[in-house]
Structure 1
């Protein structure tokens, strides 16, 4: 999902980067992650969001 993310931002609470995207089965997700290096990310958490939450 990170490679095909529809939108990116930063978490309001932690300042970590987040991406928004859709799964193959149609779920809308927000993934909070930490960038370890140029080739590696570490997912912190992911959860379902509504289209409204993404705005």
Structure 2
């Protein structure tokens, strides 16, 4: 189910823009005070990424 505004869904394979490494979205949340979504990927569970750091695979 798509939440209004987010680009990527849980389970979706995306690419980290900087390294071009494919990763899988494990969860996401909206950061209200920053007005954007952050994403946690399965491969790096202790790191979060913003939409502009990821791209469709």
TM-score > 0.5, shorter chain as reference: no
Give me the TM-score of the superposition, normalised by structure 1: 0.40
TM-score of the pair, normalised by structure 2: 0.39
- Structure showing greater radius of gyration is 1
Higher relative contact order (CA 8 A, sep 6+): 2
